[in-house]
Amino acid sequence: MKLLVSWLLPLIAMLAAPLLIGLINRTKALVGGRRGAPLLQPYRDIRKLLARGAVYSDTGTWVPQLGPVANLAGLVLALLVVPLAGVRAPIAFPGDLVVVAGLLGLGRFLTLLAALDTGSSFEGMGASREAYFGALSEPALFLALAALVRVTGELSLSGAYARVDTELWANAFPVLALIAVTFLALELIENSRMPVDDPTTHLELTMIHEVMVLDHSGPDLGFIHYGAALKLWLIGALLIGIAVPVRSGNSWLDLLAGLAGLTLLAVLIGAIESLFARMRLAQTPQFIVAAGAFAAVALVMALR
């Protein structure tokens, strides 16, 4: 039974991830006094894009065609080792957290290459920003994971998250709270959500992620949108695993708790996007480094 739920987890993630984006958009619309798009709109967008043909820049080589596909493949692979709340991932081995970070990094790298290879100076600008901010946010991810490993004593994601229960929260409250804050910040940073980047903007000078995918079209753009939803789910799952310490032993109950957590998280992100303005681009590195500082303090507190 446990195994069945474990293998169901990546499937649910792949099916339900775009729903998170729909939830965020719906929350933003409701807070703004509008009715908003249907919850299933992201699915329609992706289907629409998949049905179209792709247009490739003449200056580009095969790299822009590889970027979105490889990024998506990496994310799907990463989903296989990321647990959700008490539900273990189908695959778990010591050090799999490095694999997740590596796959995220690989996806970022290929997106960068694809953006640079289109030959647009504009996308080079976005790639430069993404590289800079990525260099700051990856240490934060590693420090947070290191603190988690230290405090749970497990080297695999599934093992570590299985040990995050209410008892551990009572014993190591500061460490877990700091890790959770770091993951929340990373969720906003990595998925280009509001205080860092505006996912709806098309104002050139402020974009980070959006500017890199300007030259992608059709199925490639669909893959990118779908990949973004998977990434939102993936980092959200890392956060929910800590913020929702429900470890009942019953896999279905744990799964339900995790999904409820993710739903709440999407509403929370929508609320954050409605309440906060985007930061000045010059302030963004400060925000990311501050997230890293939270993770570092967590690690120090865990080491004491």
Out of 171, 202, 204, 276, point to the residue binding another protein (CB under 8 A): 171
How many residues make contact with another protein (CB under 8 A)?
20
**Please, which residue, 79 or 298, has the CB nearer to another protein?**
298
> What is the closest distance, in whole angstroms, from the C-beta atom of residue 301 to another protein in the complex?
6
Site for another protein in 125-144 (CB under 8 A): none
Q: How far apart are CA 103 and CA 231, in angstroms?
A: 11
Q: How far apart are CA 101 and CA 214, in angstroms?
A: 25
Out of 4, 15, 51, 170, point to the residue binding another protein (CB under 8 A): 170
Residue 65 CA: distances (Å) to CA of 114, 167, 218, 231: 7, 48, 11, 20
> What is the closest distance, in whole angstroms, from the C-beta atom of residue 203 to another protein in the complex?
24
Binding mask 226-265 for another protein (x = CB under 8 A): ----------------------------------------
> What is the closest distance, in whole angstroms, from the C-beta atom of residue 18 to another protein in the complex?
35
**Please, which residue, 35 or 304, has the CB nearer to another protein?**
304
Out of 173, 202, 204, 276, point to the residue binding another protein (CB under 8 A): 173
166 binds another protein (CB under 8 A): no
> What is the closest distance, in whole angstroms, from the C-beta atom of residue 99 to another protein in the complex?
26
> What is the closest distance, in whole angstroms, from the C-beta atom of residue 300 to another protein in the complex?
5
**Please, which residue, 194 or 301, has the CB nearer to another protein?**
301
**Please, which residue, 61 or 283, has the CB nearer to another protein?**
283
Q: Which residue has the tokens 């998925």?
A: 191
Task: Supply the DSSP string of the chain, one letter for each residue.
Answer: -HHHHHHHHHHHHHHHHHHHHHHHHHHHHHHTT---S-TTHHHHHHHHHHHSPP---SS--SHHHHHHHHHHHHHHHHHTT--BTTBPPSS--TTHHHHHHHHHHHHHHHHHHHHHHT--HHHHHHHHHHHHHHHHHHHHHHHHHHHHHHHH--SSHHHHHHT-SHHHHHHSHHHHHHHHHHHHHHHHHHTT-TTT--TT---GGG-SHHHHTTT--HHHHHHHHHHHHHHHHHHHHHHHHHH-----S-HHHHHHHHHHHHHHHHHHHHHHHHHSPPPPGGGHHHHHHHHHHHHHHHHHHHH-
Of 34-42, 78-86, 146-154, 293-301, which part binds another protein (CB under 8 A)? 293-301
> What is the closest distance, in whole angstroms, from the C-beta atom of residue 145 to another protein in the complex?
17
Out of 11, 15, 174, 202, point to the residue binding another protein (CB under 8 A): 174
Of 47-55, 60-68, 74-82, 290-298, which part binds another protein (CB under 8 A)? 290-298
Chain positions contacting another protein, by CB under 8 A: 170-174, 177-178, 285-286, 289-290, 292-294, 296-297, 300-301, 303-304
